[in-house]
Each structure stands twice: as C-alpha cells, then as structure tokens.
Structure 1
Amino acid sequence: MRNVKSNSIWIGIIHMGLGTVLAQMINIVAQPILTRIFPAETLGIYTYIISLATMIIPVASLKLDMLIVSESDDKEAQYITDACIIINVFISLIYALVIAVGYQITDNNIFNKYGIIIYIVPILVFTNGLRFLFISYLNRYKEYKTISIIAIIREAIRAIIQVGSGFLSLGVFSLSMGYAISPLFGLNIQMKNYIKKLKERPRITAQKFKEVVLIKGKRQILYLVPAQFINSFSSSLVTISITALFSAKVLGYYSAGARILDIPIVFITSNVSKVCYQRISENVSNSKPVLKTLMSVIVVLSMISVLGFGILYFIAPRLSEIVFGKGYRIAGEYIRCLCVMYAVRLVATSFAGVYTVFKKQNFELILNILLIVSAGLSYIVCRMLETEVTTYLKLMNMGYTVVYLLMLLGYIVVCKNYDKKVRSVDK
C-alpha cells in the first residue's frame, strides 16, 4: 500500500506544484515592483522580445526532448539527450541568422521594430531551450523535487537581476538578460546524472544522431514541431498584433493582465502536464488503461478552473490596480475579456504530449493550425474595422475557447480508443 501511494500520480503533481508555488511566489512579488519602476511601454517592449523567443523555445530541440521521457531503453534516452543538445545549438544559431537577415531587409518589420535589442533573442532561445530539455531529462527519472528546487533558484535569480536593473535604470536589455541568464543557474544540478552517464558510455556518432532524428524523432518533427510552433506563434501573434494594431503601451497593460491569467497555468498546467505525460507513457508501455487517470485529472482541474477564473472575472480590475499600481485598472478589463478561454486552456493544455504517446501528432498539428487561423481572423477583422483592443481580445477569446475544447475532446477520444484495445487484448 505504501508503494502504491508513493507512486501515485498526485504525489508527483504535489511535489512539482509545491516547488512551482514557491518559485512563482517570487515572480508574483517581483511583478508589482517591476510595474512601478518600469514604464508600461518598456514592459511592453520586453514582452515583445520574450514573445519572439517563446515562438522558438518550445521547438529548440525539435520536440525530441519528449522522447527522453517515453523511451524505454535508458541508453537510447541518453543518446536522445545528446541529439537534443546539438539540435538546440543549431536552432539557436539558425534563428540568429534569420534575425540578422530580417533586421536588414526592410524597415519596421517584426525583427527591427525596437532596434538591436532583438539580437538577445537567440540567447534566450538557447538558454531556455536547455532548461526545458533537462526538465524532460529529470522528468524521466521522476526527479520532481529537483525540478522544483531549480525552478525556485531560477525565478529568484531572474527577479534579482530584473528588479536590480530597474533601480539602476538599465531598461529593456537588463530585463531581457534576466530572462536569458537565470536558466543557467541550477543547470549543473540538472545535468549531474547526464554527465555521469556520459562518462560511462560512448559518445553519440553521426549515424546514431541520424537514427535519433530521422527514425525515432520522425513523427515528432513532421507533426509535433509544426504543431508546437504554430501554437507558440499563435500566442506570440497576440503580442505582435497588439503592437501592430495599438501600441507598446497597450501591450504593456495587456502583458500585466496576462501575467495574472498565466499564474494558474504556470502553477498547475505546466506541472500536471509533465506528470500526466510521464504516467500515461508508463501505462501505455505496460499495456495498462489510461482513460480513468485522464478523466480523474480533468474533473479536478475543471472544478479548480471554473472556480478560480470565475472569481478572477469579478475582481480583476480592482486586483490589477492593487497589484500593479495606479493606471493598471485597464489591465483588469483585458483580463475579463480572456477569462473563459484561460479557464478551458488550463484544463486542455494540462495533457500536452498525450497525442505523442499514441502517435497522433497530426491531430495536434490540425488543432494548432486552427489556433493561428483564429488569431489571424481576429487581427484582420480588427484591422479592417479599427476596433478597440477589448474587441480584439473578445474575438480571440471566442476562437481560442472553441479550439481548446476540441483539443480536450480529442484527448478523451484517443484514450478511450486505446482502453478499448487493451480490454480486447486482455479478453
């Protein structure tokens, strides 16, 4: 009985959750300070820079990092990790080249809108790409406590750099450097087991690298990379669109509101998704049913989401002014426009990776294409009608909500179909 309890999916979620709560408490404390020492426009430009990085960070390893968790052979998992590190370096360099070319081609495009600060973006991609890669590595070995400790270290370092730079009036560059440097703290802890195993085995060869990328990672690259990139781009498109339709100042207020909306996503979704992915992968490897696990988490998350975002809707304007300072009440109005979408998103994105387990990455690709279509249509309508920012956000809310509901339904269907096959084999 003791072993069953220690192996419970909720134990992993709780370990991850507690660490994330502490880490994000640091971030929560830092944000009101940042909104008081930096103008909304500066925070808007910082958000813009980060959004260009976050388009690429999730695919910096071409999604092969997910295979580290699901790979049954430990030695193969080490080679996949090798390949991911190499790919992360190449992707960062390629993005640097794209930015350099884009910076020179035309005036006032997405790469040169705010000057040479854009060249920090590939550094953000590289350091944060390594961070996510080794989170997957630790997840393989259920090192949830270590993941949590490193998250606390990372957020503390970032807060110190960003708040300190604010008092020294160092601007957008120092804000961005806080985001770039902080993932390096604790990286030696994340890599400890990997380096130990690296010393005990042969290095990855060109042939093995090719095998990992073209055979093991084929479906990841063909389906999940485009799906993830489109998903990330659809999120960044909101930031880019607000800047294009309105101003960096409006983006600053929106980014403040988005930080409040993102708190439950960071606290809950990111941790639940890692644990659920590991547990469902393990069950599939052992030919065990998965739908019960999925549905139990959906029910709990749905109750939390409806209650949390329901309360937030009513208190958002006043809360934003209290948290961020005078003038930020408008951020609360932006929050209200997006509450429904975030409530559904919290549940749906808590099962990221489920399609990979069942080799249904093409489903995720289709759904993420729908996200970007929704974002594009919202932009076009608001550009043509010259609407207010709240109208744009409400259109985004409707379109994204529908897509996230379809995503959640898809998870249930694939798990149900898998369970049917397991039961038929048992009979």
Structure 2
Amino acid sequence: MVNKLKKLLKTPFVRNVMIMATGTAAAQLVNILLQPIITRLYGPEAYGLMGTFMAIAAIIGPVAAFAYPIAIVLPKRDKEAKGLIRLSLYITTAVAVIVGLILLFLHQPIVNIFNMESIAPYLYLIPIVIIFAGLLQVSEQWFIRTKQFGVNANATFFQAILLNGSKAGVGFFYPVAPVLIVLSSLNNGVKALFMILFARKSSYKSSSEEDDDKPVSLKELAKRHNDFPIFRAPQVFINAISQNLPIILLTSLFGPAAAGFYSICKTVLSMPSQLIGKSVGDVFYPRITEAAHKGESITHLVKKATLALAAVGFLPYLVVILFGPWLFSFVFGTDWVTAGEYARWIALWMFFMFINQPSVKSLPVMGAQAFHLRFTIFNLVIRMGLLAVGYFVFSSDVVAVALFGISGAVLNIILILLTLRMTKKFD
C-alpha cells in the first residue's frame, strides 16, 4: 500500500496537481487569515457593493477574448498557440474599447435600466477589468499548455498577499466600499503581472519545429478554432450570468446586505474549488487532450478524477451544511450569521460544481461545445426562475438562495452523468 502511494505521488499528473494546489493553498491561507479582519472592517453593505461590481465584471471578463484563450492548449505546435495568444489579445483590446465607448455615451441609461446607482461611478473601471481578464486568461492557458504549473502557483500566492493585505491595511483607515471595488478590479491584472515576472525566470524552451519558418495566419487560426467563439464563448458568458446574476438580483430585490452575505459565502465556499478543483482541472485539461490524441480511454480518466474530487470535498462541504450559521458567526462576526444560512444551501451546489471539473474539461476535447452551450442555457433558465420564485412567492432571501443552491446541485449531477455517457461514445 505504501509503495503504491509513493508510486502515485511520483506520477506527473499528481505531482503537477500538488504544485498547483500548494500555491493555491498558500493563497487560501492568506485569505483565511485576513478575511475575518476584512469582513469586520467593511461590513455586509460595503461587501455587497463590491460583490455587485465584481459580479458585473465576472460576467463580461470571461468572454473578453471570445474564449479563444481556452484553445491555446490544443495545437500541437507552439507557434500556433502563440498565434492564438496574439489573436486573443487583439480581440480583448477591441472589446475593451467598445465597452469603454458604450459606457462613455450610454452610462446613465445603463445605470437607470439596471438600477445600479450605488456603483455607477465605478462602471468606468470595467474596460480595465476586461483588459486584465484577457491578459490573465492567455497567461494561464499558456502556462497550462507548457506545464509550467509552478509559475501559476507562485503568482496566486503573491497576488493574495498583495491584494488582501491592501484591503486589510487600507481598511483600518478608510473602510469603505470604493476601496474594495478598486482593489478587486486590479485582481486579474496583478496575477497576470506576477505570472509574467515569474515566467522570465522559467527554464522552459519552445520545442524545435521543422516548419518553424512557416507563417501563422491569425485569420486561419480564428477559423480553425471558431467553435470557441460560436459555442464556448456564449456558454462561458451564460455560465457567468448563472453564477453572478444572483448577486445583482439580491442587491435589487433584497438590498446590498443580502448581496454581501451571498458574496462572502461564494468566496469562502469556492476555496476548495480554487484549491483543488481548479488545480485538478488545469492539470487534467492537457492530460486528457494528450490522451485523446493518443487514442486512450478518456472515460476512465474522467471517472477517476471525479471520484477523487468527491472523496476530497465531501467532508468540508458537509461541515458547512451542518454548522454553517455558527461557523460564519464565529469566524466573521455576528453580523454575518445570515451568510451562514445561505452557505448551507450554496454548499450543496458548490460540492457538485467542485467535482464536475473533469467533465467540463473533457467537453472541448470531445468537440461537445454545442452541447455545453445548450445545457448552460437550460441551467440559467431553471436557476433564475427558482430565484424569482423565492422572491415573488415566498418573499424570502433564504428560500431564494436555497432553491438556487439545490437546483445547482441537481443540474451539476446531470451534467456529469451526460458527460460520462458522451465519453463512452467518444472512446
């Protein structure tokens, strides 16, 4: 048994996951230590306003480059991958300029339509958020492709120290929502900067290619990978709406404090996903791509990774479900006990989202982008409808969040089962 464990730990997949998870764990430790200070300094309303702004940014940011960065891992030639990086950055810049012009000329109508008076002055930061999001996406995908997982791990750690340390430090003197909003808008840019700095010290060298002199046409690359803007970008956009619209709706329907409760819940309960789930997913993506190229069975890989994540995540999420209100009150202060009630239901959804990473990563490898888009649209309609039922039928923010959480859990189970059925056909 000991020998098997040693052998397992020496495999490249497990070793790379551990590298990613170690950096993320260090970053999460910083978050755990500083978050109770930050929540006590700023309070639920300030946290809710930050959450509302970041929800808007999180909806727009992931599609800044039309999902082309996700394709960077797939080409066999580094030169084509670098072409996708240039294409992604050009698109990101164009999107940021267009959004900036829209805000410049239509700022007040947008604020009035979406009832965003409380964060109106900060909407001008969104083009900057878009640029930073695109830069981070291409950086992350390139380092995933080249298996430089240590660069990502180090950047995640130093990003957490700088940004959370700044929130806590400035909060002692000026504990208001604008501080949280401005610092949060720099989040992606800070991580991308650290990744670029650490990459300069990396020993990675591009593989020599026989056709290295052959020029890469960005137009040809865009056409070859057009399933990403056609199917994956809408899917990512709709999924971002599904995950972040609740914060905007809770602000509109129940006030900024409710959005603050939801924001802290999502931040805390995403920690296992960021620590292990994303680490496994980032390492799993190039591994399953390689397996597909070699004709290996990907069903076995998806099953194994999913069950491993389920074993790791079961206990932490169960503790939150059982003791959520007490835990949040004890850690973040008595003002946050309602957040613990939210957490009980969000934990159900987060657990199954935590274990669905292998399934999600396998879909582009199988060319199942269209399926993923359709499923995400269905997901959004069902979950937003149940959130509305909680408000209009029960007039309760806790019931609304409970319905949202339960539906998220059920839909993620369905996604995993459908993906496994597709992997069997693919094999």
2:268 corresponds to which letter in structure 1? I
Contact 2:325 2:337 in 1 (8 A): yes
CA distance in 1, matches of 2:394, 2:104: 32
2:293 pairs with one of 285, 289, 292: 285
Q: CA deviation at 1:49?
A: 0.6
Alignment of 1:208-357 (within 5 A): 208-213=217-222, 215-357=223-365
Partner SS state of residue 217, structure 2: helix
Contact 2:24 2:156 in 1 (8 A): yes
CA distance in 1, matches of 2:67, 2:214: 19
1:255 corresponds to which letter in structure 2? S
1:69 pairs with one of 57, 61, 73: 73
Contact 1:161 1:175 in 2 (8 A): no
Cα 1:195–1:416 shift into 2, 3 Å = closer
Partner SS state of residue 108, structure 1: helix
Aligned length: 415
1:44 corresponds to which letter in structure 2? G
Match in the other structure for 1:150: 155
Alignment of 1:18-417 (within 5 A): 18-105=22-109, 108-110=112-114, 112-114=116-118, 115-169=120-174, 171-181=176-186, 182-189=190-197, 192=200, 208-213=217-222, 215-385=223-393, 387-417=395-425
Contact 2:325 2:341 in 1 (8 A): yes
CA distance in 2, matches of 1:306, 1:6: 25
Partner SS state of residue 147, structure 2: coil
Q: CA deviation at 1:304?
A: 2.1
Contact 1:291 1:415 in 2 (8 A): yes
Partner SS state of residue 186, structure 1: helix
- Larger mean CA deviation between 31-40 and 123-132 belongs to 123-132
Partner SS state of residue 387, structure 1: coil
**TM-score in terms of structure 1 length:** 0.90
Partner SS state of residue 166, structure 2: helix
Cα 1:111–1:72 shift into 2, 3 Å = farther
Q: CA deviation at 1:4?
A: 9.2
CA distance in 2, matches of 1:246, 1:202: 58
CA distance in 2, matches of 1:5, 1:262: 25
2:131 corresponds to which letter in structure 1? F
Note the alpha carbon deviations across 1:107-133, whole angstroms, 9 max, x for none: 533374322112112212221331122
1:249 corresponds to which letter in structure 2? A
Partner SS state of residue 62, structure 1: coil
Q: CA deviation at 1:343?
A: 1.4
CA distance in 2, matches of 1:217, 1:189: 29
Q: CA deviation at 1:196?
A: 8.8
**TM-score in terms of structure 2 length:** 0.90
Partner SS state of residue 38, structure 1: helix
- Larger mean CA deviation between 363-372 and 93-102 belongs to 93-102
Q: CA deviation at 1:208?
A: 1.8
CA distance in 2, matches of 1:228, 1:124: 17
2:21 corresponds to which letter in structure 1? G
Contact 2:273 2:354 in 1 (8 A): yes
Q: CA deviation at 1:92?
A: 2.1
Note the alpha carbon deviations across 1:122-159, whole angstroms, 9 max, x for none: 21222133112201100111111111001111111111
Match in the other structure for 1:425: none
Note the alpha carbon deviations across 1:331-381, whole angstroms, 9 max, x for none: 111111222212111111344331111111011101110121023212432
Contact 1:50 1:121 in 2 (8 A): no
Q: CA deviation at 1:3?
A: 10
Cα 1:107–1:304 shift into 2, 3 Å = closer
Contact 1:128 1:183 in 2 (8 A): no
Q: CA deviation at 1:284?
A: 0.9
Q: CA deviation at 1:302?
A: 1.4
- Larger mean CA deviation between 93-102 and 1-10 belongs to 1-10
Cα 1:344–1:184 shift into 2, 3 Å = closer
Contact 2:44 2:335 in 1 (8 A): no
Root-mean-square deviation (Å): 2.7
- Larger mean CA deviation between 342-351 and 35-44 belongs to 342-351
Contact 2:41 2:175 in 1 (8 A): no
- Larger mean CA deviation between 303-312 and 352-361 belongs to 303-312
Q: CA deviation at 1:411?
A: 2.1
CA distance in 2, matches of 1:353, 1:262: 18
Q: Percent identity?
A: 22
1:17 pairs with one of 18, 21, 25: 21
CA distance in 1, matches of 2:203, 2:56: 30
Cα 1:32–1:47 shift into 2, 3 Å = same
Q: CA deviation at 1:41?
A: 0.6
Match in the other structure for 1:423: none
CA distance in 2, matches of 1:9, 1:103: 48
1:178 corresponds to which letter in structure 2? L
Contact 1:16 1:145 in 2 (8 A): yes
Note the alpha carbon deviations across 1:278-328, whole angstroms, 9 max, x for none: 100011112222222111111111122222211221121111012111221
1:380 corresponds to which letter in structure 2? A
